[in-house]
Amino acid sequence: MFQDSQNQSFPHNSDNELISGESIISIRNLNHYFGQLEHLELRKQVLFDINLDIAKGEIVIMTGPSGSGKTTLLSLMGGLRTAQEGSLKILGREMYNASKQKLVEVRRQIGFIFQSHNLMTFLTAKQNVRMAIELHDRMLDLDMDAKATQILEYVGLKDRVDYYSDSLSGGQKQRVAIARALVMQPQIVLADEPTAALDKKSGRDVVEIMQKLAKEQGCAILLVTHDNRILDIADRIIYMEDGKLQKN
Ligand code: ADP
């Protein structure tokens, strides 16, 4: 475990209005458009009437052809875009028409994992994680090295903490990237093709960490992938086509 003390679980932000039993992510009748809002004829609708709930501890895999709207939906859930129409509740907070500040607050509670890990190659695994801690948590009394080591242990990299990231394998780099995303102890993890560049064994290691996060930390995980090798980890698989979520 990578918590600061034995009895501290993932922090629950008191600002959140999540009611017991409510979905961590709850989407109703969500539409999204690209193009100028003031010129209706230039607007292009890319998401159509999306409805989706994801519960605590649930792993949902989203598949579907390229250009179908998966990344757009992911970016709305992650507070990277403002929801324009319909309802999008993240941890009980309504993100429809959200202010920039609200988007930033929500983003801080979400762990993002991408295909490209974007590690600092001139830093060690521990320094990469430490940097994320410094950015997130400026508490002076925090032993950042110890916390970074703890998180790296959680993702199975105890013996690699002092390795420079460019000397790590692709799977190990991805696990360092996951460790960085776990610094803020997210209740939601959004992953976009996290195994696409990995061999079978490394991909497996990466998704097993996600399973551990769902089971042990109660994280809600949404994973976008075309990787058929990992579909079995999902509690639910959803399919996006032409901006619409197909019903199973
Ligand atoms: P996917 O992730 O399934 O490949 P995307 O969400 O990236 O799909 O794209 C959905 C649609 O939205 C596509 O037609 C794409 O061209 C369009 N799109 C994505 N981003 C933008 C943007 N910033 N501006 C205009 N159109 C966009």
How do the domains of the chain map onto residue ranges?
56-81+108-246
Report CA(241)–ligand 1 centroid distance (Å): 12
Best of 30, 62, 68, 114 for a ligand 1 pocket test (most atoms within 8 Å of beta carbon): 68
**Which residues does ligand 1 sit against, CB inside 6 Å?**
34, 46, 64, 66-72
Atom of ligand 1 nearest to the CA of 73: 6
**Contacts with 107 (C-beta within 8 Å, 6 or more apart), sequence order:** 78, 79, 80
Contact assessment for residue 216 and residue 204, using Cβ atoms and an 8 Å cutoff: no
Is pLDDT larger for residue 47 or for residue 19? 47
Give the HSE-up count for residue 201: Cα atoms under 13 Å, Cβ half-sphere.
3
What tens digit of pLDDT does each residue of 125-153 get?
999 999 998 887 666 557 889 999 999 99
Atom of ligand 1 nearest to the CA of 243: 10
Compute the Cα dihedral for 221, 222, 224, 226 and give only its sign.
positive
Report CA(24)–ligand 1 centroid distance (Å): 25
pLDDT at 22: 65
Sheet holding 110-114, edge to edge: 110-114, 188-192, 220-224, 59-63, 236-241, 244-246
0.90 surpassed by complex ipTM: yes
Contact assessment for residue 25 and residue 52, using Cβ atoms and an 8 Å cutoff: yes
Is residue 6 scored above 90 in pLDDT?
no
- Return the bridge partners of 113, or none: 191
The pLDDT of 174-201, averaged and rounded, is 93
CATH number 3.40.50.11260 is the correct assignment for the domain at 56-81+108-246: no
Q: Is the pTM of this model over 0.90?
A: no
What tens digit of pLDDT does each residue of 28-84 get?
999 999 987 667 778 899 999 999 999 999 999 999 999 999 999 999 999 999 999
Least confident of 21-30, 50-59, 201-210: 21-30
